[in-house]
A and B are shown apart, each in its own frame.
Chain A
Amino acid sequence: GENVEQHPSTLSVQEGDSAVIKCTYSDSASNYFPWYKQELGKRPQLIIDIRSNVGEKKDQRIAVTLNKTAKHFSLHITETQPEDSAVYFCAASILRQGGKLIFGQGTELSVKP
């Protein structure tokens, strides 16, 4: 079955710096890759996603890149702000197969003012 590995497990940056979180997946049939942000005590919130027919997607300060050949995808956050501090989860899924998301183990991002 699918396995998703996420690195690093913790990441500390200064406000204004960029942050990059990387995930690799094992099942080449995976074709949908969402990223969720979860603040302490709150629900996971979808912040960006990408499908396998696209190599990159941007939304303001957030971007995701996908390398299908290498089976890895990354989250890039530019101009980080303290409110970006949270746990970030990547996930992989095969659309058409029931919506099962396989999550990475999470990255705890801390943005220091």
Chain B
Amino acid sequence: DTEVTQTPKHLVMGMTNKKSLKCEQHMGHRAMYWYKQKAKKPPELMFVYSYEKLSINESVPSRFSPECPNSSLLNLHLHALQPEDSALYLCASSQVDMGLVVYNEQFFGPGTRLTVL
């Protein structure tokens, strides 16, 4: 399996809802990422997990809560979001070379299109 998969493809939620986004990869990659992308803009990094540990948090509001239960799975828990959080949420993964700690090319999933009403 050479792909990153994400579910759901689309999500509509109210500002009081709690929902979760899921990302999965079976390429043996040990780094996984969450990005947020607005229309016609580049992806913005939110979180990086390396070997299932959070290594980068780009000062993301606490209404976004990441979780990495195992080396293949990455979740993003959403709570009390605002309409401005509506965006495409992309997951990515990359290989990490042990010892060198080199992060190689990142492969993106298809994204979850989130709308917050």
Binding site for B on A (CB under 8 A): 34, 36, 42-46, 49, 87, 89, 91, 93, 95-96, 98-101, 103-106, 108
Question: Cβ of A96 and Cβ of B102 under 8 Å apart?
Answer: yes
A104 to B101, CA, bound (A): 25
Question: Cβ of A44 and Cβ of B108 under 8 Å apart?
Answer: yes
Interface centre among A46, A98, A99, A104 (most CB of B within 10 A): A99
Question: Cβ of B108 and Cβ of A96 under 8 Å apart?
Answer: no
For B96, what are the chain A residues with a Cβ–Cβ distance below 8 Å?
99
Q: In residues 36-53 of chain B, which contact A (Cβ within 8 Å)?
A: 40-43, 45, 48, 50
Q: In residues 80-115 of chain B, which contact A (Cβ within 8 Å)?
A: 90, 94, 96, 100-111
Binding site for A on B (CB under 8 A): 31, 33, 40-43, 45, 48, 50, 55-56, 90, 94, 96, 100-111
A96 to B50, CA, bound (A): 12
Question: Cβ of A46 and Cβ of B106 under 8 Å apart?
Answer: yes
A106 to B43, CA, bound (A): 10
Question: Cβ of A43 and Cβ of B90 under 8 Å apart?
Answer: yes
A34 to B94, CA, bound (A): 13
For A87, what are the chain B residues with a Cβ–Cβ distance below 8 Å?
40
A101 to B104, CA, bound (A): 11
Question: Cβ of B107 and Cβ of A100 under 8 Å apart?
Answer: no
Question: Cβ of A98 and Cβ of B40 under 8 Å apart?
Answer: no
Q: Kindly list 5 other residue pairs between chains A and B, CB separation below 8 angstroms, not including A44-B108, A101-B43, A101-B106.
A: A42-B110, A91-B42, A98-B50, A99-B103, A105-B41
Question: Cβ of A98 and Cβ of B42 under 8 Å apart?
Answer: no
Closest to B32 in A: A99
Question: Cβ of A49 and Cβ of B110 under 8 Å apart?
Answer: no
| A54 → B minimal CB distance (Å) | 14
The answer to whether residues A95 and B102 also contact, given A44-B43, A87-B40, A100-B45 and a CB cut-off of 8 A, is yes
Closest to B42 in A: A103
Question: Cβ of A46 and Cβ of B107 under 8 Å apart?
Answer: yes
